[in-house]
Structure 1
Amino acid sequence: MINLSPRHRYIILAVILFFAGVILLYVPNVVGIADNTDFIRISRPSGFLLDNNLKFFYFQRRFEYIKSFDNLYDFAGFVLNPETKDEIGLKSTMFLFVKAAQLADGTVSYLRYGKIEHFDIAALSTVFLLLHAVSVTLIYKALKTGKTAYDLFILLFLLTVFYNMGYILYYNSLFGESATLAGFLMWFSVLLNMVHNNEVKYPALILYFTSGIIFAGAKVANIPLGFLIAVFSIYFLFIAKTPGKRIFVLLGICLTVSASASFYREIPEWMAKPNNYHSIFYGILKGSDTPEEELQKLGIDTKYAVLANTTVYDDLDGFDVFGEEFQKEVHDKVGPLEVSLYYLRNPGRMFEKLKLSAESSVFIRPTYLGNYSIEDDTEIVKFVKRNSIWEWIRKQFNGYAFGAVTSVFLLYFSVTLYQFYLLKKKKVNRSAGFILMKFTLMIFAGSQWIFPVIGNGEADLIKHMFLFNLLLDTMIVLLIGDILKLMTENMLNRQIVLSFLAFFVVFFVLISADGRISGNKVLLFGRYKGQPLEWEVLEETDGYYFVVAKNIVEFRPFSGNTNYWPESDIKAWLNDDSEKGFLYEFSENEKNRILPMKRRTVIPPAFADRKEYGSRPLYWFCIPGYASQNYDSAYQVENTEKVFLLSIKEWENHDFKKIKGVPYWLRTPYTIGTTVRIVGEDGYVYHKKADTENIGVLPAMIIKKQ
């Protein structure tokens, strides 16, 4: 048997993890994340083109350069100094990884084909996966307990969390989240090992400050944490054993502060003003019953109250977000500091936003961006499911997310306090730096729980909660490692841990069952394909029942080429009593008992000229409890309905068995093209093209009492 040194074992583990990441991203299909129109921030300054026909719906792997190259020298010069007119002006450390990937991919292309015409994003994910594997290996090294069973559990848990597809899919994208993920994990893994060993070495310090700056500069939202990293780094001045190391640490702190300040100064106006607009009008004012009062608190003229619940992409009634008047009367008066102070002075509103942010954090990946290329699957916004168990666990906490997040913070804080107590009593081998690091991580996560709303309101909130998710999951990983370590040291009773685990399992099973069971009255009414139909009663009056089918009755497209419910094929089919229609096997008495009633239906922006009610499109949000958003003010028409599909508001407002294990249609359209909102097999709201065939039909109707 070969006797490997610990270092060689860690190297082998890192190699295995790297190839595990490659397999997850490339076997059997190449997967990534589709563009949401943000890719241009990276692609245009980098000199390659986007396929706008793929955005939102499909992942794009290859990007064509604005010109081809037949020698490496010219290509390298182009990559380092692109011949493009950069109107974007975004400064991000993401460009470092993109340029490295371009050079590597271009070299391979030239050696294989003698020319360079495309950028293959596989080169970018390869760079990230290498860093990712090293970081996870270092985290495992620091968390090991010395007990084989516990160490194996820690390793498997690290794989479950940090190799979840929700995270590594970002590596096959041009989003700054990929640099955020790689930069943070490298920074944290180096930090964890330094405080674990309670010493600083030059190579570790170089990696620590470099990765910290990369992390801080990856996205605008990360910049405040760059300053916090600098503050934490003061600790190393006290444990550095030589003047040279202390000087090096001081230089690193100064460089981190300087870089973070530079990143902040370089935020382009086209990004800063919309973000600030959203923080006010799609944040503070969103959902407020008294927008005028909120504006008065902020010192803004109440004439702007008409902009409540709007984004910069809406019709803003003639207001110019980038104009001088708006700058003077809004942007100059209220910025991130004033928004932060508003929430501190209005804790009720802050609680609402924290609750929404917690619910939005159950997802790791964006829920409106596809993972497959159009070559591999023509279904739009299709999600890859392999190695997604951690995200699945997270999604079960819908409706309970605030309590779950709060519980993680409380448990993490309690364990850390206990470790601090043991440290003071000298009962465990921990450094003060380890305790300080844990509190710092908690501060990082706590700040990112509310920072997205402060910085950008509720706009694209699920995607903007990515950093919070990463920090929270890191807290959970550290918490698990600490508990196992304390058990190994006999400082934590195993029975207490097992009791807590049993409580969690029971609670998890109960909340997972929510949405899959129902106590509603069930009626038998009508037949389809020779079988009696069961209906759940959603509402009962003296004269009628409002019911929805208990089970999916059929799988069929919503319509051939429209997401406009009044003219859809599925509406015609549901109300058809011919041999091919849904009502064919209903008796005459049953058909006569189906009451026609007026119902409002949201219509897509393309049909806004037909609206009878509302003033803007229905905003998108996939989280049950928040999905109907501005339903009452959205474009709507009123029609007489007999057999119909539930609207998103009807679906959300009534309690019934909503999770069917398969996706099914709502009658509410999405805003793009011919897409329609559906309920996914997990009970969240997504969207598909109207002609998609594998979506279930869940009819609803009003039945007259006999």
Structure 2
Amino acid sequence: MNIAIKMLFLFLFLDSGYLVYFNSFYGEAPTLIFLLLSFVLLVYLEKGKSSLLIIIALIGSLFLFSGSKPANFPSALLLTLPLVYHVLRREEGRKRFFLCACIAAMLMGASGYVKHTPDWMNKVTTFHAVFFGVLYDHPAPEEAVKELGLPPELSQLEAVNAYAHEPLNPYNLYDSSFQSLFFDRTGKLDVLLYYLKHPALFAEKLDMSAEAALPLRPTYLTNKEVPSEQADLWFAFRLNAWESVRKHFSGFASLFIGAVMGLSMVNLILHLRRRTSLFGILLRAVLICATVGQFIIPMVSNGHADLQKHMFLFNVHLDLLILVIVMDRAGFFLRHFRQIGLALLFLCLLTSFPGKPETITLGRLEGKPIEWYVLERRDEQVKLIAKDSLFRTSYDERSNDYTKAGIQTELDDKVSTWFSQEERELIQKANYSALRNASNASLADEGDRPHYWFSPIKYAAQNSDRAYRTAYSAYMTLPSIDDVQRLFRLSKSASILPESYWLSTAYFSSTDKARMVSPDYQVYHRRVDTELGVRPVQWVKDSILYSKKGSLD
């Protein structure tokens, strides 16, 4: 049994989603090391393996964990509580006094580090918490600004991050006038209170945090080495089993997290009923509290900005809770292995196939009928998306301006190849929108914001309705970021394919990268000269649903 627990520990924490941080300058690498070390040493104390060396090592580990990032301090403070209880209960005399002094010095040093967080960092995160958090996609930004005690003119900063400049953000964060206009009037505590007064909004924000927490790494942290002139967002999925399991719950992240938290609470209640050691009960209680806190803190303290990376500490806490559940209930799991396995299989199936889109056939490719999903209905027209990738090609040779991309020219040529004359009469030349990158945003027909990237498909569209975009007409085109999000909500399993496929959406911060859908339920970007799958969309007359006998599934 001891070996099985150790194997589970390695399975969870040696996943490449965690290991890639060790090839970066981010503070997550020492966070992982010292949080896991602190947990292991606390388990040593619970099992009665106490010594001065272990306690001193635990104090040092908690200090280094807290010092890795200011956001770690609340968790470090909570994890200190079982240690304090152990010292006061088990140690005596000078040793107790010495250890209490060491703990106090550690907490003072850790809190001092937090207090010395640079002023610019506090301002940026507070700005994000309000304008890139509360006001992000808010249905009534003027009312929200008023409730936060801010002047109404600041509502123009909705969905604007702290690094934006004029015309998006006419204010200087570090100017005294903006200090009195914004920072002197509100703060992160006000943000938390606002969310508590608006639970529906808070629940939606936390669901987005849950989706962001499924990948263990932020989706810009690649682990594939390529020459600098070919820099690309390219992943190797070796040693990635646990992160792959987590991503399987895309669209149902809140259910997954809620299940783990619910089992943790049941486990804690069982410890209370059986009156096990108070140290063990305290350890499990503070770990649950720390997990809940780290689930809430990123959205409240920094809004949507870099949300996936800021969910890292929550992920480690959650995985520790899973480990604790298995440690405490290993015998139960062994006795009921078959039943638990069937329950987990049912949960996986339930979260994989929520619904099935209508399917029709239209056109032929290599002698076989082409199947399409019904994506949307509007004004006696139906929008279709190919059920599968129909061919592979590059987006363009060098540009992510979709209105001029080579891939659209190829799709135009396919219309006469795949469809009969009768079928072509059903296909409508429709208006579509192509999102612009930063370099050609000034050429946009509509929109007043960059398109922000959020990789989980469930919320990938983000602010596309306000993003810089240009209209174009076509009979058949690539799916947009909105199309794939709509398909995901119709049927999660239908939204991905065994291979990655292109979207028409440009990557805003680049001129040579475009968005694509990966088989792991994430939207990434790749260089436009990469060959990926093509899954076209088109508008057709809705009479196709009734005129072609046997075509509608």
2:398 is paired with a residue of what secondary structure? coil
Find out whether 1:251 has 2:101 as its counterpart: yes
Choose the corresponding residue for 2:52, options 196, 202, 210: 202
2:30 equivalent to 1:179? yes
Query: Which position in structure 1 is the counterpart of 2:420?
Result: 587
Tell me: CA distance 1:502–1:248, structure 2 relative to 1, closer, same or farther (3 Å). Answer: farther
Residue aligned with 1:506, SS: helix
Q: Distance in 2 between matches of 1:552 and 1:487?
A: 42
Cα deviation code 1:47-87 (max 9, x no counterpart): xxxxxxxxxxxxxxxxxxxxxxxxxxxxxxxxxxxxxxxxx
Between the aligned partners of 1:643 and 1:519, the Cα distance in structure 2 is 20
What CA deviation, in whole Å up to 9, does each residue of 1:573-609 have, x standing for no partner?
Answer: 1002xxxx56335333333332111222222121112
User: Which of 1 and 2 has greater Rg?
Assistant: 1
Partner of 2:17: 166
Q: Residue 317 and residue 174 in structure 1: after superposition, are their counterparts in 2 closer, same or farther (change >3 A)?
A: closer
| Structure 2 residue identity aligned to 1:275 | T
Q: 2:433 aligns with which of 588, 594, 600?
A: 600
Rounded Cα–Cα distance in structure 2 between residues aligned with 1:591 and 1:502 = 48
Change (3 A) 1:603 1:259: same
Distance 1:266 1:381 in 2: 35
- Aligned pairs (5 A) from 1:214-293: 214-293=64-143
Q: Which residue of 2 aligns with 1:612?
A: 445
Aligned to 1:351: 203
Q: Is residue 528 of structure 1 aligned with residue 365 of structure 2?
A: yes
Tell me, in whole angstroms, the C-alpha distance in 2 between the residues paired with 1:504 and 1:376: 43
In the alignment, is residue 687 of structure 1 matched against residue 525 of structure 2?
Answer: yes
**CA–CA distance in structure 2, aligned partners of residues 545 and 357 of structure 1:** 33
Extract unaligned runs of 5+ from structure 2.
Answer: 548-553
1:397 aligns with 2:235: no
| Alpha-carbon distance in structure 1 between the residues aligned to 2:197 and 2:271 | 34
Query: Residue 375 of structure 1: CA displacement?
Result: 4.3
Q: What do residues 179-203 of structure 1 show as CA deviations (whole Å, max 9, x unaligned)?
A: 1000101111111111221x63210
Is residue 2:317 matched to residue 1:471?
yes
Q: Which amino acid aligns with 1:565?
A: Y
Query: Relative to structure 2, which stretch is displaced further, 213-222 or 601-610?
Result: 601-610
Q: 1:483 aligned to 325, 329, 339, which one?
A: 329
CA RMSD of aligned residues (A): 2.1
Letter in 2 for 1:418: L
1:299 to 149, 152, 156: 149
Instruction: Write out per-residue CA displacement over residues 608-631 of structure 1, whole angstroms, 9 at most, x where no aligned residue.
Output: 121110012110011122111111
Aligned residue for 1:627? 460
Contact preservation (8 Å) 1:574, 1:583: no
How many angstroms apart in 1 are the aligned matches of 2:100 and 2:249? 44
* Paired residues of 1:195 and 1:433 also in contact (CA < 8 A): yes
Instruction: For 2:280, give the aligned amino acid.
Output: F
Secondary structure in 1 aligned to 2:457? coil
How big is the shift at 1:540?
4.4
Distance in 1, matches of 2:332 and 2:423, equals 67
Partner residue in 1 for 2:551: none
- 565-574 or 364-373, which deviates more: 364-373
Aligned residue for 2:295? 449
Partners of 2:150 and 2:182 within 8 A in 1:
yes
| Residue 567 (structure 1) aligns with | 404
Query: 1:377 Cα deviation (Å)?
Result: 11
Runs of 5+ consecutive residues of structure 1 not aligned to the other structure: 1-149, 424-429, 489-493
* Aligned-residue offset at 1:176: 0.3
Contact 2:457 2:523 in 1 (8 A): yes
Q: Which amino acid aligns with 1:167?
A: Y
What SS does the corresponding residue of 2:326 show, helix, strand or coil? helix
How far apart, in 2, do the equivalents of 1:298 and 1:510 lie? Answer: 41
C-alpha change, 1:280 and 1:391, in structure 2 (3 Å) is same
Residues 629 and 582 (structure 1), Cα distance of their counterparts in 2 relative to 1, 3 Å cut: same
- Specify the SS of the correspondent of 1:583: helix
Q: After TM superposition, give the deviation of residue 278 of structure 1 in Å.
A: 0.3
In 1, Cα distance between equivalents of 2:411 and 2:124 = 44
What is the correspondence of 1:399-418 to structure 2 with a 5 Å cutoff?
399-418=251-270
Range with greater deviation from structure 2 (321-330 or 550-559): 321-330
Q: Which amino acid aligns with 1:499?
A: Q
Cα distance in 1 between the residues matched to 2:447 and 2:100? 59
Letter in 2 for 1:686: Y
Q: TM-score, normalised by structure 2?
A: 0.92
* AA at the equivalent of 1:190: L
Residues 20 and 221, structure 2, Cα contact 8 Å, conserved in 1: no
* 2:542 matches 1:702: no
CA distance, structure 2, for counterparts of residue 583 and residue 160 of structure 1: 52
Q: Distance in 2 between matches of 1:376 and 1:658?
A: 32
The one-letter code of the counterpart of 2:67 is: G
Q: Distance between the aligned counterparts of 2:227 and 2:479, measured in 1?
A: 33
1:506 partnered with 2:346: yes
Identity across aligned pairs (percent)? 30
C-alpha separation between the residues in 1 aligned to 2:20 and 2:67? 20
1:653 corresponds to which letter in structure 2?
R
Post-superposition CA distance 1:433-456 (Å, at most 9, x none)? 011001010111010000011211
TM-score of the two chains, using structure 1 as the length reference: 0.73
Q: Deviations over 1:554-574 (max 9, x none)?
A: 111000111111100000110
2:518 maps to a residue whose letter is G
Deviation of the 1:542 alpha carbon: 7.4
The residue type paired with residue 312 of structure 2 is F
Superposition deviation, residue 395 in structure 1: 0.6
Change (3 A) 1:344 1:249: farther
